Amino acid sequence: MPITPYLLTEEPYYQPVDSEIAVYESAYRLRLPLMLKGPTGCGKTRFVEHMAWRLKRPLITLACNEDTTAADLVGRYLLGPDGTFWQDGPLTLAVRHGAICYLDEVVEMRQDSMVVIHPLTDTRRLLPLDKKGEAVNAHPAFQLVVSYNPDYQSTSKDLKQSTRQRFCSLDFDYPRAEHEAMIVAHESGAALALCEQLVDIAACSRALRGRGLDEGMSTRMLIHAARLIGDGQPVRLACRVALSLPLTDDPDMLEALDGFVEAHFG
């Protein structure tokens, strides 16, 4: 089967924070399209991976950007040794064969590309391939999941109501401190006490969101820092490389972030 390589063979680690697993399972049973909203690096993608593994469904992921066209989603004609042939895009592949299709940061996609998903998000569950003259009925196991970061929305990059209202939605945020420390420890292999300190530093940075920082330190960044420390890098250097410098170029803000690290680690 063409989508066999998209089956996850190992369980992606995920620490539940509320009832999101039960809600997702219900949405999947009903084949409802789902929208995940939350800050960068808070676990949206990992959650989808975990649910695909849990439901034993292939997962086809596409990272959207401003250059993502309808053809990138549905496919295009290509030129081969024997002439032209049609190549399914990731969305079409998922629709035909019953995978979960995950469009990450969907708000970055061009608006004229967004309309392609509309017939899949209502009772039609249909994907028109205009260039091919074909309409593909969605496999019974197909589900569409999208995600985006609400903090990065603007007038030019926003989901229209005609799109937004087609989805059920789950809100994500960074986990509670004790859960986040457990996640960082599991993913990095670092001691829990170290991870608890990193989570405290992240909390300080998140308090500056909108006051000099667009985003605070994400769970993903904490894992990077913990792994660098585990590989032998000095704590303050690892934190600067993985936490402070990726967030900002502003000297005053860098000094503040480095100050958080110094306050925790000396």
Query: Pick from 107, 140, 171: which residue ends a domain?
Result: 171
CATH number for the domain harbouring residue 106: 3.40.50.300
The pLDDT of 169-183, averaged and rounded, is: 95
195 in the same domain as 162: no
Do 162 and 192 belong together in one domain?
no
Compute the mean pLDDT over every residue in the chain, rounded to the nearest whole number: 93
Q: Which of 157-166, 172-181, 206-215 has the lowest mean pLDDT?
A: 157-166
Provide, rounded to the nearest whole percent, the portion of the chain with pLDDT above 90.
82
Q: Give residue 6's region: left, alpha or beta (phi > 0; psi -120 to 50).
A: alpha
How many angstroms separate the CA atoms of 138 and 140, rounded?
Answer: 6
CB 7, CB 141: distance < 8 Å = no
Confidence of residue 151 (pLDDT cuts 50, 70, 90): confident
Tell me the pLDDT tens digit for each residue of 189-238: 999 999 999 999 999 999 998 888 988 999 999 999 999 999 999 999 99
What is the per-residue pLDDT across 12-63, written as a single tens digit (0 to 9) for each?
Answer: 999 998 999 999 999 999 999 999 999 989 999 999 999 999 999 999 999 9
Apex 172 CA angle, 115 and 212, nearest 5: 95
Q: How far apart are CA 247 and CA 85, in angstroms?
A: 45
pLDDT for the residue 229: 98
Whether residue 158 has pLDDT greater than 90: no
How confident is the model over 131-150, as a mean pLDDT? 95
pLDDT band at 155 (very low <50, low <70, confident <90, very high): very low
User: Cα torsion at 197, 199, 204, 207 (round to 10°)?
Assistant: -170
DSSP, collapsed to helix, strand or coil, labels residue 266 as coil
With b for 16 or more beta-carbon neighbours within 10 A and e for fewer, the 54-74 pattern comes to beebbbbbbebeeebebebbb
Residue 157 has pLDDT above 80, yes or no: no
Do 58 and 157 share a domain, yes or no? yes
Do 76 and 206 have their domain in common? no
Residue 193: CB atoms within 10 A of its CB come to 9
Question: What confidence score (pLDDT) does residue 222 get?
Answer: 98
pLDDT of res. 113: 86
122 with 162, same domain: the answer is yes
Q: Which of 144, 171, 198 is the last residue of a domain?
A: 171
Structural domain including 156 reads 4-171
Q: Looking at the predicted structure, is the pLDDT value of residue 156 above 60?
A: no
Residues 36 and 164 in one domain: yes
Residues 82 and 162 in one domain: yes
Question: Residue 1: what pLDDT?
Answer: 64
For residue range 79-104, list pLDDT tens digits in order.
Answer: 989 899 999 999 999 999 999 999 99
3-state secondary structure of 144: strand
**10 and 105: one domain?**
yes
Place of tokens 């480095």: 258
Q: How far apart are CA 205 and CA 253, in angstroms?
A: 10
Identify whether residues 67 and 118 lie together within a single domain: yes
Indicate if 147 and 249 belong to the same structural domain.
Answer: no
Indicate the pLDDT class of residue 110, thresholds 50, 70 and 90: confident
Total structural domains within the chain = 2
> Using an 8 Å Cβ cutoff, are 51 and 24 in contact?
yes
Residues 157 and 226 in one domain: no
Domain co-membership, 138 together with 47: yes
Query: pLDDT-derived band of residue 8, with 50, 70 and 90 as boundaries?
Result: very high
Band of pLDDT at residue 153, cut at 50, 70 and 90: low
Give the end of a domain, one of 109, 140, 171. 171
Residue 37 CB neighbours (<10 A): 21
